[in-house]
Amino acid sequence: MTGASATSLSSIFALSAEVERAALVVSVHDVAPATRPAVEEIVTELARHGVSTCSLLVVPNYHHHGCFAEDRSFVRWLQELEAKGHEIVIHGYFHERPRRNGEKLTEKLFTRFYTKDEGEFYDLGYDEAFRRISQAREEFAAAGLTPRGFIAPAWLLGASAERAATDAEMEYTTRLARVRDLRSGENYSARTLAYSVRSGWRRTTSLAWNNLLIRQLLDAPLARVSIHPPDRKHPEIWHQILRLTDRLMENRNATTYRDWIAEKRTRQRN
């Protein structure tokens, strides 16, 4: 075998191993000017653990504190992160859902107990959902950013709002246990590690649950870790996030939702 042939063959084997290697998407939620210091720490520490690219879920007008684009330093920071391979994702618009009179028990359960009044797109009508998503796309584009995905706060995305995201030409969305290609309508099972830190019992439960859940994710084609800025403030939570991320990274490539979806489409065409 000639040297050229050997080199070519080894390249094929290397490519095959790369193709078969599973993926990990680490997403950082609730990115906004107000949360930037915590997010910067999170992204920096993840890079030290081999996660060089993340999906950054940016809220256009976090809790009505003002449009993100008004903070030029914040916009430049997002542009720099995108240039390095991180992904910018539209994450709701206000990240708030006002309480309503006469809500059913199930509505209260999802919008008040599961998430603290942040299920903005849980039952938002089509027209308003389309308006907010389209406005967000325009604001990101004007800021020189190119989001492809839309992820609802707390993963609470109603049917009408999902249709609005599709019509607004978003390419994908995610929920707690799956990723959905909005172009093809195909769903991919992919549970995410996530934490609730609002109280001591929630933190304890999250730690125990994710310790069990990691066993299911080890053999999954796509593993997900979802991080919120308050997670960084609790040492026991943060240490487990890094430990489980290290474990998942032993046999995976860190990627973004955008790139993972693009790769799935390419393979299906071939």
Q: Give exposure, 89-121, as e/b (b: 16+ Cβ within 10 Å).
A: bbbbbbbbbeeeeeeeeebeebbeeebeebbbb
The mean-pLDDT minimum among 93-107, 118-132, 183-197, 226-240 falls in: 93-107
Q: What is the mean pLDDT of the chain?
A: 89
Q: Which region among 108-112, 136-140, 181-185, 208-212 has the lowest average model confidence (pLDDT)?
A: 108-112
Chain-centre distance for alpha carbon 36: 16
DSSP states of 72-117: HHHHHHHHHHHHTT-EEEE--SSS-----TT--HHHHIIIIIISSS
**Is the model's pLDDT at 141 over the cut of 80?**
yes
Inside any domain, residue 3: no
Question: Over the stretch 226-250, which tens digit does the pLDDT of each residue have?
Answer: 999 999 999 999 999 999 999 999 9
112 vs 121: which has the higher pLDDT: 121
73-89: per-residue pLDDT in tens? 999 999 999 999 999 99
Cα separation, 169 vs 174, in Å, equals: 15
**Count of structural domains within the chain:** 1
Prediction pTM value:
0.87
- Across 9-32, average pLDDT: 70
In a domain, 258, yes or no: yes
Residue 89 lies in a domain: yes
> Residue 87: inside a domain, yes or no?
yes
Q: What is the reported pLDDT for 132?
A: 97
Residue 20 lies in a domain: no
Give φ, ψ of 163 to 5 degrees: -60, -40
Higher pLDDT, 146 or 121: 146
Average pLDDT of the segment spanning 91-112: 69
* Residue at 5 is within a domain: no
The answer for residues whose C-beta is within 8 angstroms of residue 192's C-beta and 6 or more apart is: 27, 174, 176, 177, 224, 225, 226
Would you state the pLDDT for residue 21?
75
* CATH number reported for the structural domain that contains residue 159 in this entry: 3.20.20.370
pLDDT digits (tens, 9 = 90+) for 163-216: 999 999 999 999 999 999 999 999 999 999 999 998 999 999 999 999 999 999
pLDDT of residue 111 exceeding 80, the answer is no
Do the domain assignments include residue 2? no
- CA–CA separation, 17 vs 265, rounded Å? 19
* 36/135 Cα distance (integer angstroms): 22
Residue 14 lies in a domain: no
Strands 178-181 and 252-255: unpaired
Domain that holds residue 39: 27-269
Facing residues of 270 across strands?
none
